[in-house]
Amino acid sequence: MDQAQNKVYDLLIVGAGPAALTAAIYTTREDISTVLFERGVIGGLAAVTDKIDNYPGFPDGVEGLTLADDLRKQAERFGAVIELGEVTNIVDHGKTKTIITTDGDYTAKAVLIATGSDYKKIGVPGEQTYYARGVHYCATCDGAFYRDKRLAVVGGGNSAVQETIFLTRYATHIDLLVRSKLRASDVLIKELDEYVKNGKVTVHLNTPTEEIVGVDNSVVEVKVNEDGKAGIIKIDGVFIFVGLLPNSQFVTKLVDIDDIGFVKTDENLHTSMKGVFAAGDIRSGATMQIASAAGEGATAALKIREFLEGHES
């Protein structure tokens, strides 16, 4: 570890999700020394997604964990090093940057911020109180605790619908609470419809969730507003998939960010700090898809290579 920390790397990548790992595949194939730092799951949100059907090259879809692991193996095959730890700051020394991590400081000529995003909270009473005791954000982690129980899933996008389908393997019934209308892809909605027809899932449109209620440390019901009328749905647990927020807390004072906290870049994926790039979900204007994150990772790698070539001269 000490030897590694004395070295000046070509590139340090903050994050090890699809954008970061794809960038690392490209850079390490070109002998650009690359170290990635990941505080959570290698593979990011993709790794905690049950099944991914829209990543190209997998005609039958692919399990998120499998895709994440294969991306990792591919990056490591060409020499990428993945350290487990959290990056807390980037110090600009001009020609080099030092990243401060929970496991020591590392220096490089360029940095790629690819920290991705995390699931938003609804922000209703009871949500924080019952977190991990009836309120969850990861179906692949916690779904198994709800065998033969009733669940609610909050959200109307691809994640909410995909994870509802995943949770049907455990729950006896799922109420899908959609604030306005379903925004998931037609393919997913069609798949969901099979579970609606067999009674396993009930979809509630125009139904914002207002409160999560528990008794004795367990969730027992959710209060909703269904088409303007107050209602109560009895459930044993709630899984929440209502959108994504950027993991940009450590850089908000270092680089330009937009109103929501996503990192701004130019057409070369360069941030406002020279030598620091951004790619994937963390980037302002990103489309929050695994396929586009991988594409941005590859683009970033090529732009970083150009930057490093100019750096030498």
Partner 1 sequence: MPKQVTIFTTNTCGYCQMVKKYLGAKGVGYNEVNLDKEPGRQDEALKLSGALTVPVTVVTKSDDSQEVIVGYNLARLAPAIA
Residues that bind partner 1 (CB under 8 A): 39-43, 47-48, 50, 63-65, 68-69, 84-86, 102, 132-134, 136, 138, 140-147, 217, 237
Nearest distance, CB of residue 205 and partner 1, angstroms: 28
Q: Which of 24/301 has CB closer to partner 1?
A: 24
Q: Which of 19/203 has CB closer to partner 1?
A: 19
Q: What is the CA radius of gyration of the chain?
A: 21
Per DSSP, the residues of 100-122 read EETTEEEEEEEEEE---EEEPP-
Tokens coding 214: 């528990």
Q: Which of 74/96 has CB closer to partner 1?
A: 74
Q: Which of 15/275 has CB closer to partner 1?
A: 15
Instruction: Name the residue among 280, 244, 236 with its Cα closest to residue 137.
Output: 244
* End-to-end Cα spacing for the chain: 30
Tokens coding 55: 């990543």
How far apart are alpha carbons 238 and 133 in whole angstroms?
9
Nearest distance, CB of residue 33 and partner 1, angstroms: 20
Nearest distance, CB of residue 108 and partner 1, angstroms: 22
How many CB atoms are located within 10 Å of the residue 259 CB?
6
Nearest distance, CB of residue 95 and partner 1, angstroms: 31
DSSP 210: E
3-class DSSP string for 267-304: CCCECCCCCEEECHHHECCCCCCHHHHHHHHHHHHHHH
Q: Which of 81/196 has CB closer to partner 1?
A: 81
How far apart are alpha carbons 115 and 15 in whole angstroms?
5
Nearest distance, CB of residue 73 and partner 1, angstroms: 13
Q: With 0-12 CB in 10 A as exposed, 13-18 as middle and 19+ as buried, what is 115?
A: buried
Nearest distance, CB of residue 192 and partner 1, angstroms: 19
Q: Which of 151/263 has CB closer to partner 1?
A: 151
C-alpha angle 257-259-264 in degrees, rounded to nearest 5: 25
Nearest distance, CB of residue 312 and partner 1, angstroms: 33
Q: Which of 58/307 has CB closer to partner 1?
A: 58
Residues 6+ positions from 22 with CB-CB distance below 8 Å? 71, 293, 294, 295, 297, 298, 301
Nearest distance, CB of residue 4 and partner 1, angstroms: 14
Q: Are strands 237-240 and 135-136 parallel, antiparallel or unpaired?
A: parallel
Q: Which of 239/262 has CB closer to partner 1?
A: 239
